[in-house]
Amino acid sequence: MNEVFEEFRVAVHSVWQRRWLALAIAWAVCILGWLAVALIPNAYESQARIYVQLEDVLAEQIGIAGGGQRDITRVRQTLASSINLAKVIRSTKLGEGISDQKQMEAAIAGLSESVAIKSEEDNLFELTAEVGAGHLSDAENATLAHDVVQKLIDRFREENIAGNRGEVAETLVFLDQQLDARKRELEEAEQRRLAFEAQYPDLIGGSTALAARISSLRSELRGVEADLAAASSALAAINGQLAGTPRSIVTPGAPGGAAGALMSARSQMAELQARGLTDSHPDVAALKRKIALLEREAAREGSNGSASSNPAYTSLQAIQAERQANVQALTARKAALQSDLAAIMASQAEEPAVAAEASRISRDYEVLKKKYDELLQDREEMRLRGQVENERSSFKFEVIDPPTMPRSPSAPNRPLLLIGVLLAGVGAGVGVAFAMGQLRSTFATTAKLERALDLPVVGSISHTLTDAGRELRARRMKMFAAGTASLAGLCVILLAVEFLQRGMVA
């Protein structure tokens, strides 16, 4: 710790011995630094806040709401676009002296770095413009910053209120062109499909439709087979009942019998024919068989027979005839379904290339039709949006806080820079003085001399001043103090001038 303190004393002594050099270096650095700070032009910042309502209740209700984050990005890009910045430059003092495109591009690049757009919320934007032109006064720079923000707001309002409707109209024209092209392609695809279906009716719809038809036929065939099995079982049951039922019931001494039943059957036949039923009707066919049977029974019984027909047997015969007709119909339906299924499978197996072509034609047609329907829906939505834009624009623009007129410069922070230059000058003087002390081979203390030579020091001789020497040293101290105070005073004066200038701008 003692060695550290001793080194510090040595450093302070080395600097103090060269204090005039340190003061001169500090003055030189401060003068140059303050001149550089004085040459930096003041920049003034103007701010404004705007509210942009991108959609309204009607637009959301009819389903044409915008893209949220996409619309916010569009607002930012529109506010700070190169076209808008170029128009702002031409309409303000920033455009003075610009005669060619290269100068304009440089001015746009500089202004784009000075303009900032922040989104505080989804629809609330803050515009900031900082202007510090060196050839303009502080008051002119402050006014110019305000004008830049105001021009940006004006350009944004004009571009969006008029631009949205123009964008919708251009989109409608593009969609109409695409619809015409898709319509022609769809008509050509439909003609190809109709021609193919006329040549190969069994392959209508391609492999997908064929697979659906095969699946439907197989499902229907399974249902018919189940119904046929149930009908066959019912027919077998009625046949069993019919076999165990006597044809007639013999009553001794009772006249009639088969003859009476025959007359009743013929009466029923007359009624059916009167209703318009043909011979192919199941009821008529069953009744005919019943009449033939009764005629044979009546012939056997003779005119004096006492046997009569069994009503239960006759009823069972009618049921048997009905169930036989049902079995025959289901058998015919099963054969037809099997024939259709075999024909489709045979056409697929015999002409696989044709089936593939059918699938391709059907697929192309469906894709084109889907795209055409989507474009048609988009066109109608865009047309409705255009009507909404014309009747009541969904774009609403409101200035929440108008552009501010800056009263004090936003950059540079000149008071901080002036103080920083003073500290840098003092530090540079001290550093140079200390470096010079390190370069010269002198020793400030006897201990340092002992360490350097590794020899014992017997003693040291102090510096004794005369009265004239002490007066000279006091006078030099006053001069050094005056020089140091002058440096600090000059810094204070420059700070006062800076604040005075700010007050004059305000």
Q: Single out the residue of 145, 164, 185 nearest to residue 48, CA to CA.
A: 145
SS3 364: helix
Omega within 30 of 0 (cis) for the link into 412: yes
Architecture of domain 44-176+392-401: 2-Layer Sandwich (3.30)
**DSSP3 helix / strand / coil % (the chain, rounded to 5):** 75, 5, 20
* pLDDT tier at 165, thresholds 50, 70, 90: low
Q: What is the mean pLDDT of residues 32-61?
A: 76
Question: What confidence category does residue 233 fall into, taking pLDDT thresholds of 50, 70 and 90?
Answer: confident
Least confident of 30-34, 193-197, 317-321, 406-410: 193-197
Residue range 408-424: average pLDDT? Answer: 87
Report percent pLDDT > 70 for the chain: 68
| Nearest Cα residue to 337 out of 345, 347, 327, 349 | 345
User: Is residue 330 within 8 Å of residue 227, measured between CB atoms?
Assistant: yes
Check residue 192 and give its pLDDT.
77
Q: Tokens 């036989």, residue?
A: 324
Q: What does the pLDDT average to over 139-152? A: 85
The residue written with tokens 């230059």 in the block is 421
Tokens 């045979």 locate to 346
In the block, tokens 């251009």 appear at 170
Of residues 148 and 381, more confidence is placed in 148
The segment with the largest mean pLDDT, out of 66-75, 241-250, 277-286, is 277-286
DSSP state, residue 94? G
For the residues 293-300, what does the mean pLDDT come to?
73
104 within 8 A of 89, measured Cβ to Cβ: yes
CA dihedral (141, 145, 148, 151) in degrees, to 10, reads -110
User: How many Å apart are CA 334 and CA 136, to the nearest integer?
Assistant: 101
pLDDT band at 67 (very low <50, low <70, confident <90, very high): very low
The lowest-confidence range among 75-79, 122-126, 407-411 is: 75-79
CA distances from 400 to 124, 125, 140, 242, 397 (A): 9, 9, 25, 100, 10
pLDDT at 254: 46
Q: Which residues of 174-186 are buried (b: 16+ CB within 10 A; e: fewer)?
A: ebeeebeebeeeb
Reported as a single tens digit per residue, the pLDDT across 418-468 is: 999 999 999 999 888 888 877 765 666 666 667 766 777 776 767 676 788
pTM: 0.45
Would you call 96 exposed, middle or buried from its count of C-beta atoms within 10 A (0-12, 13-18, 19+)? exposed
**Which pLDDT band holds residue 304 (cuts at 50, 70, 90)?**
very low
CA distance 224 to 213: 16
Strand (E) positions, 271-364?
307-309
Q: Beta partners for 126?
A: 49, 118
| Arithmetic mean of pLDDT, 189-200 | 71
Instruction: Answer for the pair 123, 49: CB distance below 8 angstroms, yes or no.
Output: no
For residue 15, count CB atoms less than 10 angstroms from its CB and return exposed for 0-12, middle for 13-18, buried for 19 or more: buried
pLDDT tier at 52, thresholds 50, 70, 90:
confident
| Buried/exposed code over 245-281 (b: 16+ C-beta within 10 A; e: otherwise) | eeebeeeeeeebbbbebbeebeeebeeeeeeebeeee
Tokens 């402050």 sit at which residue?
Answer: 142
Q: 228: buried, middle or exposed (CB in 10 Å: 19+, 13-18, 0-12)?
A: middle
Residue 177 has pLDDT above 90, yes or no: no
Residue found under tokens 């190809």: 192
pLDDT grade for 255, boundaries at 50, 70 and 90: very low
**Cα distance between residue 234 and residue 227, in whole Å:** 10
DSSP class of 346 = H
The pairs formed by 232-238 with CB atoms below 8 angstroms and a separation of 24 or more are 232/327, 234/323, 235/320, 235/323, 235/324, 235/326, 235/327, 238/316, 238/319, 238/320, 238/323
Q: Give burial (CB, 10 Å; 0-12/13-18/19+) of 459.
A: exposed
Q: Mean pLDDT across the stretch 399-425?
A: 86
Domain ranges of the chain: 2-40+412-505, 44-176+392-401, 206-365
Two tokens, residue 322: 């009905």
pLDDT of residue 33: 93
CB neighbours of 485 closer than 8 A, spacing ≥ 6?
Answer: none
